Structure 1
Amino acid sequence: MPPSPPSKPKVRVKPYEGPAGGYGSLYGMAKVALHAAPPPVETGRQLLRQNKAEGFACVSCAWPKPAKPHPAEFCENGAKATAWDLTRRRCTPEFFARHTLTELLDWSDYDLEQAGRLTDPMRYDAANDRYVPCRWDEAFATIGAELKALDPTKVTFYASGRASLETSYMWALMARLYGSQNLPDSSNMCHESTSVGLKQSIGSPVGTVLLEDFEATDAIFFFGQNVGSNSPRLLHDLQKAVRRGVPIVTFNPLREAGLERFQNPQSFQMVTGQATKISVQYHQPRAGGDLAVLTGLCKAVIAADEAAQATGGLPVLDHGFIADHTQGFEAFAAFCRDTGWDEIEAASGLLRADLEAAAAVYAAAPAAICVYGMGLTQHVLGVENVHMVCNLLLLRGNVGRPGTGPCPVRGHSNVQGQRTVGITEKPELAPLDILKAQYGFEPPREKGWNTVEVCEAVLKGEAEGFVSLGGNFLRAVPDSPRVEAAWRRQRLTVQIATKLNRSHLVCGQTAYLLPCLSRIERDEQATGPQTVSVEDSSSCIHASFGDKTPAGPNLRSEPAIVAGIAKATLPPNSKLDWDAWLGDYALVRDAIEATYPDWFKGFNQRFHQPGGFHRPNKARLRNFSEATGGKANFLKPSSLSATGFEDAPDIFRLMTLRSNDQFNTTVYGYEDRFRGVSGGRDVLFVNRDDMRSLGLVEGRRAGLATVAEDGVERTMSGLRVTGYDIPRGCLGTYYPECNVLVPVGHHAQGSMTPASKSVPVRIVPE
C-alpha cells in the first residue's frame, strides 16, 4: 500500500570530499532501492540486462551504449530508474478513492513517486475531485469524441524523451493526421539551443562525436555539464582517456565531483581506495560567462597562431581546413582580436592567465572534443554559446576527424530520436511531402507551438487540449504556478504514464490518466513479444527488449495507447493499418525506413547489432551547411554575457540545479551527496563572500524574488542559506521547485529554450 506523505524532512549540510562513483554510488543505489522495494532477484537480473544488445535501453539518460559493454553497464541514476520501474508499490484505483486531487497537490514530487506504478486507466470525476477507474474502450471513445470537437491547431501533442522510436513515429503521424503541428517535446526545455546553434554553425542539429572518438581524442573540454550526476557512464570513457594521458579541461560554475575524481566501482580502486583525477584544469566562470570564456580561448589560440607565423613556427590554426570548409573566419578573428582581455575577464569571472593556460592545452592537442550540457544552452544567448563552441573547434579543424567534434550530452534516453522521427513543431524538420505521399493526406505546414508557446497559449486561454506521451510538463515548465492556474481552462487533458506526478493532478474539464508498460516489461502483441528502438545522443540506434512481467494486467503498451486514440479520433485510411502496426512493431520500423530512407536503411536488419547502427551525419563527413555550399560558419557573438540582462549590485544570477538523487523532474530521494546536502531540497547555495557582504547566516532562511519587467510577482521563500563554492554574484537552488522564479518570457533567443541557468533574482532575507 503506498504510504501517506511523510513529515517534511530537515535539511542537513556536510561537505562532501569523496569521489564520484565508489562506495557512495553503491550506497545511493541501495538506499533508493530500499524505498522502491523492487524484487531483489529480478532487480539484479534486469540490471545485468541494462544497456546490453540483448537487453533493454536504460530509461534514464541517453549516453551511448557500447558494443562491448561492462559487466554492469548502468550508473547510479540508471539503477534508480530501473528500481522504480520494478517497484512493488502500486498506485491503484483504491489509492485514488482515498485521496482527492486537491489533497495530492500538497504532496511533494518525492511523495508522489512513492505511490508506485499506475495500474488502471482512470477518468477524472470533477464532482468528487477524484480519479475513478474506467474501461480502455470508454477512455478511447471519449478522448476521440473530444478531439473531434476541438480545433486541431489548438491541441498539443507533447512527448517526453522516454518513448521509443516506434511510439514516437506513431505519435507524430497521429497528430499530423489529426491536423495539429503542435508537437513540442522535452528537447524544447533543454537542448533546443543545440538543435538551432549546431545547425547554423555546422549544418547538423546534433553532435558529431561517437563513443569511439573518446578513444582517439587528445584533449577533452567540458562546458556546463555535470557528468557525475547526469551521465555517469561517461566517467568510464574519461577514466580511460586520462590513463592514456589525455588532458581534460573543465569550465563549470560549480565544482562537480564527477569532473574532479572518479572511483570506478568495477575495478580494484574499490579495494585500494584510490581514485582517478579527471580534470587537469578546473575553471569556475560566472553563470552566463561562457561566451566570454570561449572568446578568450579563441583569442588566445588565434594569437598563438600569429606568434608562430611571425617566428616561423608551426601553425596553430588549421588554415587549410578554414579555407576549404568554412566561411566568416576573418570577421570572427577580427572580433577576437578587438575584444580586450579586461572585457573578457570581467564577463567571464576568470583571469587571462587561466584562459591562456586552457587555450595552450587546446592548441597542443592534435584532436579535441568539446562536451557541453544545459549550462550552455539554457541562457538567453544559449544559441550563441553553441556557436562559440563550434568556432573553437573550427579553428583547428576539430570537426569531421576521429577524436574531434561537438558533443552535446542529452538527457532523456530517446529525446534526440523523437525529433529524428517527426516529433517537432517546425515543419521544415519533418518530411511532409513524403508523409503526404505515404499516407495520402495533406499534413499541416504552419509552424506549431513549442513548449514556451504552449505555456503562452495556456496563459492566454487559447489552448483547448493537451495530450501527453509521458513527462511531467507542468512541473518542468517555467512560470509553473501561473501555467498551472490557467491549465484547467482546457477542454481536454490526457496523460500517458507509468507513475504518478504533479501534472496528472491538474486536469482539464475532461481528463484521463492512462497507465502504460515500462520499457523493461514484456510487450506481448498479436505476433508475440515486441522489441522497440531508441536513439542515443551520438545518433546510434539500438534495440530494446523488455521481458519483465508487467506491473498489472490492465496496462497497455505506448503503441497500443497511441493506436487506440488514433482509431477513435481519425477516419479510416486505406494506406494505414493501426492494428497491423500494433500487432507487429517491425511494420512500424518499415514505415520509418520508408519515410527516412537515408537514415534508416535496413532498419529491422541492423538495429539489433551490438553498439547499434549510426544514423548518418553529414557534418561528420565535413559536408556542412547546404545553404553555404557545404561550408561551416564562423559566427560572432552579440555579447560577452549570455544572461540577457544587465548586472546590478543587488541582482544575482540564479542557476537551477539537479541533485544526484533525481532525474529531470523525478525525485528519487533527499540526498545530494556530491554537494553534501541531505534531508531536503529547500536550499539556497550562496558564495560565502556574498553571504558576509549581505549579512546572511549559514543555516538561516531566505527567499528569492525574480527581477522582471512584466509586472508579475515571482517569489520563493524558506530556503536554507548554504555557503558554497560558487562564483560571486551567482546563486543555485533546486529544479523543478525553483521554476516558480523563471518567467515564461525568459528564454533563449532563436530557440526559446527556457533560460533557467541565469535568472535575475534578488535575495530577500527572512
Structure 2
Amino acid sequence: MSKLPSIKKYDHPAGGWGSLKAVTSALVEQHVTLDGARILLHQNKPDGYACVSCSWAKPADPHLFEFCENGAKATAWELTKKRINQDFFAHHTLASLEAWTDFELESQGRLTEPMRYDAATDRYVPVRWQQAFDEIGKMLRDFDPKRTVFYTSGRASLETSYMYQLFARLYGTNNLPDSSNMCHESTSVALPETIGAPVGTVTLDDFQHTDCFFFFGHNTGTNAPRMLHPLQEARKRDARIITFNPMKERGLVSFANPQSPKDMLTPAQTTISTQYLQVKIGGDIAAVTGVCKALIEADDRAQKTGMPRVLDAEFIAEHTHGFESFADATRKAEWRDIEVQSGLTRGELEAAANEYARAKAVMILYGMGITQHREGVLAVQMLTNLMLLGGNIGKPGAGICPIRGHSNVQGQRTVGITEKPALVPLDKLARMYAFEPSREEGMSTVDACAALRDGELDAFIGLGGNFGRATPDHHVLEPAWKRVLLTVQIATHLNRSHLLHGRAAYLLPCLGRIEIDLQASGPQTVTVEDSTACVHASKGFAQPASDALLSEPAIVAGLAKATLQDRGNVDWDAWTADYSLVRAAIEATYPEQFKDFETRMSQPGGFHRSIPAARREWKTRNGKANFITPEGMGEDPDMSFDGERTLRLMTTRGDSQFNTTVYGLDDRFRGVFNTRDVLLMNRDDMTRLSIAEDQSIAVTTVSKDGVKRCLEGLRAHAFDLPRGCAMGYYPECNALIPLSHHAKRSKVPAAKAVPILVRAR
C-alpha cells in the first residue's frame, strides 16, 4: 500500500539520526546492506573510489566515514541487486513505460546487456556489442557531423572524457554539450574575464584559515553535505557565515555531525549561518550591490576622517582595473531600489558588509542560485567585485568557490569537453593525431535542444545522464525525438531519456565507477577533478552487475573504431587495455596541468591543478583582475514580474535526489513526504491569490512566444519563502521553462526565476 503525500514541519538539523536512518534505508531498499556498508568505507579515500554524485573536495586526511547521505544513496543505487535485462523489456513496451514516473523507471535497477530498439514491437531487444558498434558506426559515417551531438553528463572520468572529445573531433564536430551548460557555464564565462581562470581559487586547506564565509544560492545540506564538516569546524573557532538564499535550507541553518558521539547522544547541534538573508529570487545582484555600496561608502568616510581604510586599497591599485567606474556606479545606486530588488533591508545588508570588513580572509561560495538567471554571468562577476574590494583572492583562507554539481563535471571541461574550440589546444591535437580539427563553434545544450526542436538533429550520443529530462521545455522537445535518425545512450540505469528515442536507438550499459574495471593489463584506475580543481584517482571495489558490461572507455573506443575506421593515429585498443596510456596522452596535451600525472594522481588529497589567479597572476586580456560595472540590478530584466499576480518560480532538487536521479519521494529537510507534485509558496501570496493549503493548482508560464506551458495536478503548500516567490521540483517543473529563457552569453537555462501564474483548479 503506497503512503499518502504529507507536509510536515521539519526542525531537526542536517545530519544527525535522520541522516543515518536515510543511509540505512537506502542500503536496505537496494538489498546491499552488508556489501554497501563495506564498500562505503572506501568512498572518497585516497586509495578508494570517488563518490559518483557530488564533486565536493576529497580531503587528504579523511574521516572514517567520508561520505554523506546522498553519496551513500548514490552508492547504494549503483550497487543495487536489482537488474534490467531482456525479460524486463519483453514484458514492457516503451509506450507503456512512458506512464511510469522517473523514480519508478530508475528504481528498476542496473542495465545488464546491450539493447537495440525494435520498432515492430516497440521494445528494446538484445544486440551483440560488435554488431551494435558496427551498425552505429555505419550510420554515423552517413550523417553530417554538424548535425550530430556528443553529449556528456558530469560523471565520466577524465580518461573517458578525453577519449570522447577526441572521437567527436576526429569525426568532424565540436558539438560537445555537457551538463555544465545547464549549471555552471555562467561561471566559465564570467571568471576568465574577471580573474583569468574558469574555475574557483580555493582549496580545502583554505577553510582552516577563513574567518568569514558568504554563501549564495546553494543548498549545502543536500547538494554538498560533506562541506558541513569544515563549516562546523570553522564555526567552532567563531568564523562568521553569511547566507543569501530565498529558502532557509536546513544544512545552512544547523548541523549535527553523525560522526560525533556528542552530537548524536545529546541535543547538541552547530548553528551554521550567523546571518541568514532570505533574498528575493533574482535579487542577488541587488543584494551584492548593497553590500558593496556599504563597504565603499564606509571606505569613503574613513578616508575623510583619517581612519584606517575599509577596502584593500593597495591590492586594488596594484592588481585591479575598473575600480573607479564600479565604485561610482555603486555610490549612485539608491538604497530604495536595492531594497525593492533584493527583498532585503539596508540594515541587513550593512550588517553583512560589517562582517566582511572586519574579516581578515573572506571566502565566497555559490551555486546555481547565482548562475541560472538571465544575468547569471553578471551575477558571478558581482561576487568577484565584492571579493576584489577586500583583496580576498590569492591569499590563504580567501577566494571564490563555485560549488560544482556532478562528480567530474569540472574535470571533463579540463580535458576538452566543450563546444568552444578556442578553449581546446586544437593545433596540438592536430599534430598528435594527424588530422585537421573543425574550428567551427559547436552546439551548446540550448543549441542542441533548438536543433532537436527544429528537426535539424540527425544523431544524438549520450555519455551518461538524462538529457531529455534535464533540459527545459519538456512538452515542446519530447515529441521531436522521434524525428532524430539515431540515438545512442551509454548508461547504468534506465531513465526517461531512453524512452525518448530516435528512429534507430541503442542502449549501451556500462560499468559503474564503483565496480572493478578489469582490462587486458589488469584492474584499471580512473581519475576525476573535484570542485577545488584537485585531481584524484578512483578504483572500483564491487563486482560488476553483469559479465556483459563494458567500461565507458571501452564503449567509446568501440564506437570510435567502428565510426572513424582508419582516421587518426589512435590505438583505441591499447588505450582500452591500459588507461595509463590515456593519461599519458592527457599529459602530453595539457603538460602544465597534468605534469607527472601518473605519479601524482594517487597522492592523498589529490594534486591541485595550476590556477594562476590563486597566486594573484591574472591571465586576463589586460593582465589585471577586473571590476565589472553592471548596467542594472535585475537578474532577469527582460521577464515580466508585475508584482501582483505573477510569481517567481525557482526549480530545485529534493533531499532524496541528485541531478535528475530521484532516489525517493521524500524531501525530509523541507518536510515534504511521499510526493514531488507540490508548489511551495509564501502564505501571504496564497491568501492574496485565494489558494488554500493543499489545494490542487495549475501553474502556467508567462511568456510571449505563443507556446502554452502549463503543469496541472500540483498541490500548493505554504512555506517560508519571500513574497512573490515559489519553489517547485526539478526536473518536473522544467516543462515550465522556455528554451529561450537562458543566461546571456552562457546559455544556461534560467531555471531560478521563471514568471508563472498560479490558479486553483
TM-score, normalised relative to structure 2 = 0.99
- Aligned partner of 1:3 in structure 2 is none
* 1:754 equivalent in alignment to 2:731: no
CA distance in 2, matches of 1:547, 1:689: 52
- Aligned partner of 1:660 in structure 2 is 655
State the Cα distance separating 1:574 from its structure 2 match. Answer: 6.5
Kept in 2: contact 1:222–1:372 (CA 8 A): yes
Equivalent in 462, 465, 468 of residue 459 of structure 2: 465
CA distance in 1, matches of 2:607, 2:515: 24
State the Cα distance separating 1:237 from its structure 2 match. Answer: 0.6
CA distance in 2, matches of 1:712, 1:471: 27
Equivalent in 364, 371, 386 of residue 370 of structure 1: 364
State the Cα distance separating 1:488 from its structure 2 match. Answer: 1.3
Matches within 5 A, 1:182-193: 182-193=175-186
CA distance in 2, matches of 1:421, 1:519: 19
Matches within 5 A, 1:684-723: 684-723=679-718
- Aligned partner of 1:118 in structure 2 is 111
- Aligned partner of 1:429 in structure 2 is 423
CA offset digits 1:169-196 (Å, max 9, x no partner)? 0000000000011001000000000111
CA distance in 2, matches of 1:10, 1:187: 36
Secondary structure of 2:631's counterpart equals coil
State the Cα distance separating 1:216 from its structure 2 match. Answer: 0.8
Secondary structure of 2:206's counterpart equals helix
Kept in 2: contact 1:193–1:751 (CA 8 A): yes
* Compared CA separation, residues 341 and 224, structure 1 to 2 (3 A): same
- Aligned partner of 1:381 in structure 2 is 375
Equivalent in 181, 192, 203 of residue 210 of structure 1: 203
* 1:681 equivalent in alignment to 2:676: yes
CA offset digits 1:330-376 (Å, max 9, x no partner)? 00000100001000000000000000001000010011000000000
State the Cα distance separating 1:31 from its structure 2 match. Answer: 2.1
Unmatched tracts of structure 2, length 5 or more: none
- Aligned partner of 1:401 in structure 2 is 395
CA distance in 1, matches of 2:54, 2:178: 15
CA offset digits 1:106-147 (Å, max 9, x no partner)? 111110111100000000001110000010011000000010
Kept in 1: contact 2:182–2:749 (CA 8 A): yes
CA distance in 2, matches of 1:647, 1:554: 53
CA offset digits 1:237-292 (Å, max 9, x no partner)? 10000001100000000000000100000002101121000011000011000000
* 1:545 equivalent in alignment to 2:530: no
- Aligned partner of 1:240 in structure 2 is 233
CA distance in 1, matches of 2:477, 2:388: 41
Equivalent in 296, 299, 312 of residue 290 of structure 2: 296
- Aligned partner of 1:728 in structure 2 is 723
Secondary structure of 2:225's counterpart equals coil
CA offset digits 1:480-527 (Å, max 9, x no partner)? 121111111111100000000000011111110000000000000010
* 1:484 equivalent in alignment to 2:478: yes
Secondary structure of 1:453's counterpart equals helix
Matches within 5 A, 1:270-309: 270-309=264-303
- Aligned partner of 2:99 in structure 1 is 106
- Aligned partner of 1:52 in structure 2 is 45
Secondary structure of 1:85's counterpart equals helix
* 1:95 equivalent in alignment to 2:88: yes
- Aligned partner of 1:142 in structure 2 is 135
Kept in 2: contact 1:398–1:405 (CA 8 A): yes
* 1:620 equivalent in alignment to 2:640: no
Equivalent in 304, 318, 323 of residue 317 of structure 2: 323
CA offset digits 1:564-587 (Å, max 9, x no partner)? 000000032573100111110000
Aligned-pair identity in percent equals 57
CA distance in 2, matches of 1:463, 1:638: 37
* Compared CA separation, residues 131 and 332, structure 1 to 2 (3 A): same
* 1:339 equivalent in alignment to 2:329: no
CA offset digits 1:67-99 (Å, max 9, x no partner)? 000000000000000001110000111001100
CA offset digits 1:200-225 (Å, max 9, x no partner)? 11111101110011101110000001
CA distance in 1, matches of 2:646, 2:632: 19
- Aligned partner of 1:743 in structure 2 is 738
State the Cα distance separating 1:703 from its structure 2 match. Answer: 1.2
CA distance in 2, matches of 1:34, 1:706: 40
Equivalent in 142, 147, 157 of residue 154 of structure 1: 147
CA distance in 1, matches of 2:367, 2:535: 21
CA distance in 2, matches of 1:701, 1:574: 58
CA offset digits 1:583-622 (Å, max 9, x no partner)? 1000000000000000000000100000000010111111
State the Cα distance separating 1:638 from its structure 2 match. Answer: 2.4
- Aligned partner of 2:247 in structure 1 is 254
CA offset digits 1:426-483 (Å, max 9, x no partner)? 0111110110011110011100000000000011100110001000000000001211
CA distance in 1, matches of 2:112, 2:565: 30
Secondary structure of 1:712's counterpart equals coil
CA distance in 2, matches of 1:180, 1:468: 15
Q: What code does the residue aligned with 2:597 have?
A: F
CA offset digits 1:25-74 (Å, max 9, x no partner)? 11122222222222x22111110000001110000000000000000000
Kept in 2: contact 1:32–1:669 (CA 8 A): no
Secondary structure of 1:302's counterpart equals helix
Secondary structure of 1:488's counterpart equals helix
* 1:65 equivalent in alignment to 2:51: no
Matches within 5 A, 1:546-565: 546-565=540-559
- Aligned partner of 2:437 in structure 1 is 443
Secondary structure of 1:54's counterpart equals coil
Greater CA drift, 631-640 or 351-360: 631-640
Q: What code does the residue aligned with 1:242 have?
A: R
Kept in 1: contact 2:320–2:626 (CA 8 A): yes
Secondary structure of 1:132's counterpart equals strand
Unmatched tracts of structure 1, length 5 or more: 1-5
Q: Aligned pair count? A: 758
CA distance in 2, matches of 1:598, 1:625: 14
CA distance in 1, matches of 2:664, 2:588: 44
Structure 1: which 4+ aligned runs deviate by more than 4 Å?
none
Secondary structure of 1:671's counterpart equals coil
Secondary structure of 2:215's counterpart equals strand
CA distance in 2, matches of 1:282, 1:240: 19
Equivalent in 176, 198, 210 of residue 169 of structure 2: 176
CA distance in 1, matches of 2:247, 2:200: 24
Q: What code does the residue aligned with 1:436 have?
A: A
State the Cα distance separating 1:548 from its structure 2 match. Answer: 1.1
* 1:637 equivalent in alignment to 2:630: yes
CA distance in 1, matches of 2:11, 2:446: 39
Equivalent in 183, 188, 194 of residue 187 of structure 2: 194
Q: What code does the residue aligned with 2:533 have?
A: S
